[in-house]
Amino acid sequence: MKALSYASYGPAEVLGVGERAIPAIGPQDVLVRVCSAGVNPADWRLRNGQFKRFMKLDLPFVPGSDLAGVAEQVGADVVGIARGDRVFAMTPLAKGGACAQYAAVPAPLVALVPETLALEDAAALPLAGLTALQALRDKAQLRRDQSLLVVGGSGGVGHLAIQIGKAMGATVTALCGRRSFDFVRSLGADFAVDYADPEALRSLARHDVVFDTIATTPFTRWRHSLKAGGALVTVNPVLDKLVPGFAARLLGIARLRSIFVQPNGRDLAVLGEMAASGSLRPIIERRLPLSDGADAHRLSEAGHVRGKITVDVFDDRSGGAN
Ligand SMILES: NC(=O)c1ccc[n+]([C@@H]2O[C@H](COP(=O)([O-])OP(=O)(O)OC[C@H]3O[C@@H](n4cnc5c(N)ncnc54)[C@H](OP(=O)(O)O)[C@@H]3O)[C@@H](O)[C@H]2O)c1
């Protein structure tokens, strides 16, 4: 099969498309013929070695955790998924494997793609959507009629968090660049605030939940935007371990929670149902062929993606790889 891979940590130039063996599956795995793969900042953070102290990769490594495609082969112990089903999955970060024509995925991480969702769109949902869902539902315990501030509303995680927040019945404010005001409003945000406008930041209302999907601003900044008893959830995966609860409370943050996304087919099915009902719509800014995988990483690394970037892996019209 054709796959994007790298044999050493480094810049995007280490990426190349080559031939690899189709992965073998065990009795609890599904072999997916990948149609599209989603690109996330984790992909280039893994590639450039940023995570290597705590996440060792088996090199050469096939990047990508988000995939959507068709079940080609199903392990003997797998229930609920049959050969030919349209499926999507998030693979564990240190396993990757999405940017290849075939990927072996443990069945508990796989969900069926609803009929109304194109595979190309489904590939944009897993990692960012699971992050947003797990952050708002489990970490923040967001409730109907609460107010939610999404810091970074235009990004991969943020644009899905706006929609999930709305579907949960919250009033949503998106903090984003001015150029993205129409974009976040089109996703349902009730208010848009410019992250580059100091005056607008100073006069931000207080919210029940702040979800910081960017985490480059010191977390203490958001205490002024939180109601008493409110929750700050951050994509910094360890902040709540570094700052004990009592210290956060002293700083005016009743609940400080970090999110470290967990691959999970059940949660993915929840996202699929939301997409089928029309309450969740992944937006893809750029779709690139597998041969331009390095450019997909560069675009993500530049930090200004609006929505998602995906990579087309198998072109079903030509029966070959892109
Ligand atoms: N802990 C976890 O489990 C977890 C899971 C998923 C993601 N993450 C991390 O979360 C971060 C976001 O992921 P992502 O996929 O959403 O990234 P992304 O799609 O690459 O985010 C890009 C977006 O961020 C916006 N942005 C940049 N700086 C901003 C700021 N200061 N305020 C508001 N918006 C800003 C950009 O808007 P402009 O172009 O207008 O600047 C752009 O639209 C990454 O660092 C990623 O590694 C962590």
Express each pLDDT in 205-223 by its tens digit: 999 999 999 999 999 999 9
How far apart are the C-alpha atoms of 1 and 3, rounded to whole Å? Answer: 6
What percent of the chain stands above pLDDT 90? 96
How far apart are the C-alpha atoms of 152 and 161, rounded to whole Å? Answer: 10
Q: What is the pLDDT of residues 95-134, one digit of tens each?
A: 999 999 999 999 999 999 999 999 999 999 999 999 999 9
Paired residues of 29 in beta bridges: 106
In short, whether 41's Cβ falls inside 6 Å of ligand 1 is: yes
Does the pTM of the predicted model rise above 0.95?
Answer: yes
- Map tokens 């005056």 to a residue: 199
Q: Is the omega angle on the peptide bond into residue 60 within 30 degrees of 0, that is, cis?
A: yes
Backbone angles phi, psi at 17, to 5 degrees: -95, 130
Backbone angles phi, psi at 29, to 5 degrees: -110, 165
Q: Kindly give the distance from the C-alpha atom of residue 254 to the centroid of ligand 1, in angstroms, as a whole number.
A: 24
- Map tokens 């988000």 to a residue: 66
Q: Among 285, 304, 310, which is best to mutate for testing ligand 1, by the most ligand atoms less than 8 A from CB?
A: 304
How far apart are the C-alpha atoms of 53 and 51, rounded to whole Å? Answer: 6
